[in-house]
Amino acid sequence: MTIGVKLETRNLKPEIPKLEKVPEHVAVIMDGNGRWANERGLPRLKGHEEGAQSVLAVLKAAKESGVNYLTLYAFSTENWNRPKDEVDGLMTLLATFMQKHARELLKNKIRLRVMGEVDRLPKAVQAGLIKLMKQSEKGYERTLIVALSYGSRKEIAESAKAIARKAAAGELDPETVTEETVAQHLYLPDVPDPELMIRTSGELRLSNFLLWQLSYAELYVTETYWPDFREKEFFQALESFGKRGRRFGGVVTQ
């Protein structure tokens, strides 16, 4: 499967809907890979492999619909507690994915960024990610952010730590700390907050994902498992977003 015009998906090519408004940034909790595999009598890793195909499909759909930032929750800090086989399999899958699709990501002007404890990842995975991050940091049109060994509370705690250090060093007056200061010390301070958060497989939880950044996001939960979430399903989420009146605590203006 490819991300560009050649891309073929399992479903027939869905129409790009006419969208009233398109979110600049969409974040996704890709859930249900294990259940997708279990229901087919397959090992869990097969679910993750099929989930990697959904990543390609959603990248293509994001490009076609004009979504500029896509953040995918690929591995949480809690995921280290999974059986070693599954963790190793996921790491290999990530490394292979980056290697196999590097050219295509670059051709499609997609910048790769990573958020999380990158230094906890196996050296080979780190090397592949760093290489592609460097290769893609110029001349890009869209950004793919992969959350890896990511936990939102840790991210916020790290922000607090950085601010406290600056205060202790006399570089910052604690009285001047605002929401903006905290946001500026998160992992990717230049990235706009997601306006839409999609969670697949029906769970109604945030699972320690972007707790700060999702404060005003619209939430979209679908029963569809991640390996079955393709272009059509992504467009449906965007259509749902397009119909929402976002108030930010005020009154509807649209």
Active site residues: 31, 79
Phi, psi of 107 (to 5 degrees): -60, -35
Cα torsion angle, 32, 7, 89, 154, sign: negative
Does 105 engage in binding with ligand FPP (CB under 6 A)? no
Is 30 a residue that touches ligand FPP (CB under 6 A)? yes
What are the DSSP E strand ranges found in the chain?
Answer: 25-29, 69-76, 110-115, 142-150, 196-199, 218-221
91 binds ligand FPP (CB under 6 A): no
Residue of minimal Cβ distance to ligand FPP: 34
**List 19, 93, 156, 206, residue binding ligand FPP (CB under 6 A):** 93
Which tokens go with 79?
Answer: 């995921």
d(CA 151, CA 158): 11
Q: How far is the CB of 245 from ligand FPP (least distance, A)?
A: 31
Nearer to ligand FPP, 50 or 155 (CB): 50
Binder to ligand FPP among 33, 108, 143, 149 (CB under 6 A)? 33
2 binds ligand FPP (CB under 6 A): no
Of 132 and 146, the one with the shorter C-beta distance to ligand FPP is: 146
**Nearest distance in Å: CB 176, ligand FPP:** 38
Per the document, the length of the chain is 254
Contact status, residue 206 vs residue 214, Cβ threshold 8 Å: yes
Which backbone phi and psi does 105 adopt, to 5 degrees?
A: -65, -45
Cross-strand partners of 148: 75
Q: CB of residue 210 vs ligand FPP: minimum separation in angstroms? A: 16
Q: Which of 74, 95, 129, 237 binds ligand FPP (CB under 6 A)?
A: 74
